[in-house]
Amino acid sequence: MIEITVPGVKSYSIENIVFDYNGTIAANGKITDKTKEKISKLCSSANVYVLTADTYGSASEECRDLGLTLKTFPKNNCGDFKAEIVEELGKDKTVCFGNGNNDIKMFKKSSLAIAVLESEGMCAKLLTEADILVKSIEDGIDLLLNTTALIATLRG
């Protein structure tokens, strides 16, 4: 569990971390070695989930040996599927990372929502539901590995 107290704002007890796959942790279906290393570190502190329609068919291979749970779903109604998973995990204990239109509903269901602007872009509508915007997935993961930076970002 990751405990975060943002003075004057909120305390978080993070048990679950949910990642969108394509455009968030992967580009063109591939995850960099650096991102894999950081995700593996997170797995020692929380339950990590990757949610994907697996557009490139590579998610299973790319996520193998990372210590996370991979959930795939049909390409239609992606947003509903993601929101249901986050709701099942529990809003108050779940952080979400995403970049797409189909991440909006899960962002609404999470305790903390982090939008990622990587090479595949980010849906502008997602930003209105995000608590934080990061310029890379590595920067976003670092906020959970070093919560002092996250506290500084969210402090009131």
Average pLDDT for 18-45? 96
Per-residue model confidence (pLDDT) at position 134: 98
50 vs 28: CA distance, rounded Å: 16
- For residue 27, the SS3 value is strand
pTM of the complete model = 0.96
Task: Identify whether the C-beta of residue 97 lies closer than 8 Å to the C-beta of residue 19.
Answer: yes
Average pLDDT for 91-115? 97
Is a pLDDT exceeding 90 seen at residue 12? yes
Per-residue model confidence (pLDDT) at position 57: 93
- Grade residue 106 by pLDDT with cuts at 50, 70 and 90: very high
63 vs 40: CA distance, rounded Å: 10
Per-residue model confidence (pLDDT) at position 2: 95
- For residue 110, the SS3 value is coil
Per-residue model confidence (pLDDT) at position 73: 85
pLDDT digits (tens, 9 = 90+) for 36-77: 999 999 999 999 999 999 989 999 999 999 999 999 987 788
Per-residue model confidence (pLDDT) at position 74: 77
Per-residue model confidence (pLDDT) at position 112: 97
Please determine, looking at this structure, whether the domain spanning 14-149 carries the CATH number 3.40.50.2300: no
Identify the residue whose tokens are 């099942």: 88
